[in-house]
Amino acid sequence: MALRATVLRHFGMTVRGPPLALQPWRSMSSHAEDHLSKEEVIERVLAVVKDFPKVDPSRVTPDVHFQKDLGLDSLDNVEIVMALEEEFKLEIPDKEADKIDSCQLAIEYISNHPMAG
Amino acid sequence: MANAALRNVKVAPNSASLEEARHRVFDFFRTACRSLPSVMEIYNLYDVTSISHLRSTIASEIRKNTHVTNPKVIDMLLFKGMEELKNVVDHSKQRHHIIGQYVVRQQGEGQVDSGKDQGISPFLKNFYKGNYF
C-alpha cells in the first residue's frame, strides 16, 4: 500500500502535463490517508504569504485579499501564486491561477486539490 | 512542462490589445518561474541563491518595464525575455553569467559604494559598474 502510494505520488509529480487524462485513474489512489488537513493548508499558505518580501507579516490573515488589503500589484499576485505552487508541488492551470487573488481562495483551491503535497 | 514550452521559441502573432499583452506577460512570468527548478539544477545554484529569490529577480526585471504601454513594444520585450529564458534553460550560458546577472547584481544594487571601491574616480566607478560581467 505504501509502495503504491509512493509510486502514484511520484507519477503524479512527474506527469504534470495533461492531468485530465489521469483523473479517473487517480481517484482510485489511496491519497485520502495522506491528504493535507485544512489547518495545515492554512498554516502553510499563510507562511508563504508572510515570507513574501513586500508583505507586512502582521497584516496577513486567512481571509486577506492580496491586492486590496496587502497593497500588492497584479505581478506580485502571480508571484505569490507561483510561490504557492512551489510550496505545495502543484501546477495550477493559468485560468485557475488568475482567479486566486486572496488567501481564502488559495486555501480553498489547495485544500480541494488532490495532488497537493 | 516548461522545457516543452520552451522547445520552440517562435514569434507569436502581435497582441491585439494592451490587455492581451498584459496576459502574455503573466504567462511568460509563469513559464519562467516553472523553469526555475531546472535552472537551479543545471547551474547548481543551491549554495548561492534560492528559487524564491530568483523569482523576485524575474519580477523586478519585468517591473523595470512597467511604463511601457505600447502592445508592440511589450511583445518585443516578451520575445527578448523568452529568448533569454531559452538561453538560460538550454545551458547556453555559464554559471557565472547567471550569478553575475541575476544573483549578485540584484543584491549589489544600491550598495555600490562599499569596501574597496572607495578611493576610485567616478569615471572608473561607472566603468566598472557598466562592465560588470
> What is the ipTM metric for this complex?
0.72
Q: Under a CB-based contact definition with an 8 Å cutoff, are residues A78 and A104 in contact?
A: no
Distances (CA, A) of B49 to A56, A85, B41, B103: 23, 19, 12, 7
Q: What is the pLDDT of residues B98-107, one digit of tens each?
A: 988 888 876 6
A7-16: per-residue pLDDT in tens? 556 655 544 4
The residues of A annotated as belonging to the active site are 73
CA distances from B33 to A21, A39, A51, A104 (A): 25, 27, 17, 23
pLDDT above 70 coverage of chain A, percent:
71
Q: How many domains does chain B have?
A: 1
C-alpha dist (Å) from residue A21 to A4, A15, A27, B27, B92 = 19, 10, 12, 23, 35
Which chain B residue shows the shortest CA-CA distance from A87?
Answer: B52
The gap from C-alpha A55 to its chain's centroid, in whole angstroms, comes to 19
Domains (ranges, CATH) in chain A? Answer: 32-112 (1.10.1200.10)
> Which residue in this structure is represented by grid cell 496587502?
A70
Cα(A32)–Cα(A30) distance, rounded to whole angstroms?
Answer: 5
Contacts of A94 in chain B (CB under 8 A): 26-27, 30
Q: Which of A15, A16, A72, A82 to mutate to test the interface with B (most CBs of B within 10 A)?
A: A82
Q: Which pLDDT belongs to residue A117?
A: 76
- Cβ–Cβ < 8 Å for A90, A55: no
**Which residue of chain B is at minimal alpha-carbon distance from A77?**
B26
Which residue range forms the structural domain that includes residue B30? 2-131
| Residue B99 DSSP one-character state | I
Say whether pTM exceeds 0.80.
Answer: no
Which cell numbers in the block locate residue A4? 503504491
Cell numbers 509563469 correspond to what residue?
Answer: B30
A97: which chain B residues are within 8 Å (Cβ-Cβ)? 30
Query: Mind listing the pLDDT tens digit for each residue in B63-111?
Result: 999 999 999 999 999 999 999 999 999 999 999 889 888 888 766 554 4
Q: Within 13 A of A75's CA, how many CA atoms are on the CB side?
A: 19
Nearest to A75 among B1, B27, B59 (CB): B59
| Residue A62 and residue A46 in contact, taking contact as beta carbons nearer than 8 Å | yes
Q: With beta carbons less than 8 A apart as the criterion, state whether B59 and B29 touch.
A: yes
Q: Which residues of chain A approach chain B closer than 8 Å at the C-beta?
A: 16-17, 51, 53, 74-76, 78-79, 82-83, 85-86, 91, 94, 97-98
Question: How many other β-carbons are positioned within 10 Å of the β-carbon of residue B64?
Answer: 9
